[in-house]
């Protein structure tokens, strides 16, 4: 498992940031919106995310909910893209199916006190402070292939 992946995923959930990841030894990438992080009854740390693009082993098309075991994540990039909780797509129903200890979950209210989003709940971010790349954090397993 990546050394700091729990913190990276928790931060992405808290700040509602999309993740670009490689999973289960595949070189293909996926873009997901992480909503929930929990420790399953069997001890596996699992992220529940809404996959919006990228690879899926069953060639599934479209967007869908999916669990990701963190021990199988080969690399993860926190993107600048911000998303809203997927209430209409069934987040509340999906979160009720979780069996285990929830360690991080997305907030479903949109109050300025639930999370901080510069530019939305305050003055706009000056251009010279805005990050230009779409990736703001990166974690790569020492065992993963360089690509």
- CA distances (Å), origin 26, targets 55, 60, 62, 65, 74: 9, 16, 19, 19, 8
DSSP code, position 70: G
Please report the pLDDT score of residue 107 as a whole number. Answer: 80
CA–CA separation, 61 and 143 (whole Å): 29
Closest CA to 32 of 57, 65, 61: 65
101-120: pLDDT as tens digits? 999 998 876 544 344 444 44
Q: Report the predicted TM-score, pTM, of the whole model to 2 decimal places.
A: 0.71
Which strand (E) or helix (H) includes residue 8? helix 5-15
């Amino acid at each position: 498992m990546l050394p700091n992946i729990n913190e990276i995923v928790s931060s992405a959930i808290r700040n509602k940031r999309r993740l670009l990841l490689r999973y289960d030894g595949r070189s293909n990438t996926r873009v997901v919106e992480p909503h929930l992080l929990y420790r399953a009854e069997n001890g596996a740390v699992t992220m529940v995310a809404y996959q919006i693009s990228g690879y899926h082993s069953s060639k599934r098309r479209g967007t869908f909910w999916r669990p990701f075991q963190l021990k199988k994540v080969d690399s993860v990039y926190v993107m600048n893209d911000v998303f809203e909780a997927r209430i209409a797509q069934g987040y509340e129903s999906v979160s009720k199916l979780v069996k285990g200890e929830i360690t991080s979950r997305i907030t479903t209210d949109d109050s300025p006190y639930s999370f901080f989003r510069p530019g939305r709940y305050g003055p706009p971010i000056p251009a010279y402070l805005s990050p230009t790349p779409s990736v703001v954090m990166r974690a790569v397993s020492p065992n993963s292939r360089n690509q």
